[in-house]
Amino acid sequence: MAFGLIIIGDEILSGKRADKHFPKVVELLAARGLSLGWAEYVGDDRARITATLKRSFSSDDVVFSCGGIGATPDDHTRQCAAAALDVPLVLHPEAKQKIQERMLDMAREAGVPFDLNKPENLHRLKMGEFPQGADIIPNPYNKIPGFSIRHGKGGAHYFMPGFPVMAWPMIEWLLDTHYAHLFHQQPSTEQSVLVFEAMESALTPMMEQIEHDYAPVKVFSLPSVGDANTRRHIELGVKGPPESVAPAFERLKAELTKRGEEFTPT
């Protein structure tokens, strides 16, 4: 099982809006000792969204999806999730109640009469039409819920609005409610050095040998062409369980010293 993130919307791919979900989800997971396994961006194209969801539904991953669950013509996520699962969209009774509560709150705040049967109010109920069998996700911001689908062996998809003010508290609630048993189960750390004027290709055999000798430690390299203040360098390091990282890092430094490489701790 891995944690995945799907971000839906033409406005992200066109650059009209900058995505804020990716760094926030990474932050929320890291605070709980978890990490993001993968992420995808998808535009407002029904066929592409459906294909993406059909593929991710076939996994056992826990997937957070942000965007496209409204009731305007460019919102397709609810319909695509139903198509990917080959089930109909149905009005969820709890979602209907929450949406009606929200509409009543708005009418009170505006000081106008509330008529559920007005066309615009009936249309708003479409935001509560979810794939058959879905559960709702509470929205503490405005009561309009998201929805979730369980699948596979412990897998789940959680669909939320694209608005960060709504999506982020919903993701936190999901993590703390359903996945607290996974928090901080795999302690991890990393240590690295900056190696100056080195070639990755020349260091690769050493990196492969350290990964082999100190599994499950992973060796990483982040090359930089440098700038006005820093010479060309590679950030070279190891990450994984603390008890394995410590000896692997000492081996890494010893090998670099043996090779005569110039390096300094980060």
pLDDT in tens, 67-89: 999 999 999 999 999 999 999 99
204 and 159 housed in the same domain: no
- The pTM for the full model equals 0.88
Q: At what angle do helices 46-57 and 77-85 cross, to 10 degrees?
A: 50
The parent domain of residue 201 ranges over: 189-265
For position 198, which CATH number holds? 3.30.70.2860
Task: List pLDDT tens digits, range 95-129.
Answer: 999 999 999 999 999 999 888 889 999 999 999 99
User: β-strands 62-66, 3-8: how paired?
Assistant: parallel
Cis peptide before 216 (omega within 30 of 0): yes
What pLDDT does 11 receive?
96
CA distance 190 to 73: 46
What is the tally of structural domains in the chain? 2
- Which H/E stretch holds residue 254? helix 242-259
Across 38-65, average pLDDT: 97
Q: Give the residue from 135, 152, 182 where a domain finishes.
A: 182
Which pLDDT band holds residue 230 (cuts at 50, 70, 90)? confident
100 and 36 housed in the same domain: yes
CA distance 181 to 177: 9
